[in-house]
Amino acid sequence: MGTKVNFDDMLDSFADHWSPKLAGRLNDYEIKLVKVQGEFVWHTHEDTDEVFIVLSGELTIQLRDGDVVLGPHEMFTVPRGVEHCPKAEEEVSALLIEPRGVVNTGDAGGELTATVESLID
Nearest-angstrom CA–CA distance, 80 and 99: 12
pTM reported for the whole predicted model: 0.90
Tally of domains in the chain: 1
In a domain, 78, yes or no: yes
Which secondary structure element, helix H or strand E, spans residue 56, and what is its range? strand 50-56
- The whole domain housing 74 covers 7-118
Nearest-angstrom CA–CA distance, 95 and 82: 19
Angle at 84 between CA 16 and CA 102, to 5 degrees: 60
Residue 107 has pLDDT above 90, yes or no: no
In a domain, 37, yes or no: yes
In a domain, 89, yes or no: yes
Nearest-angstrom CA–CA distance, 32 and 49: 15
| Higher-confidence position of 30 and 112 | 30
| Higher-confidence position of 36 and 108 | 36
Instruction: Give, in order, the Cα–Cα distances in Å from 99 to each of 13, 25, 27, 55, 103.
Output: 24, 9, 9, 20, 10
Q: What is the pLDDT of residue 10?
A: 96
Q: What tens digit of pLDDT does each residue of 50-103 get?
A: 999 999 999 999 999 999 999 999 999 999 999 999 999 999 999 999 998 876
Q: What is the pLDDT of residue 79?
A: 95
CATH assignment of the domain containing 88: 2.60.120.10
Q: How confident is the model at residue 1 (pLDDT cuts 50, 70, 90)?
A: low
Q: What is the pLDDT of residue 118?
A: 84
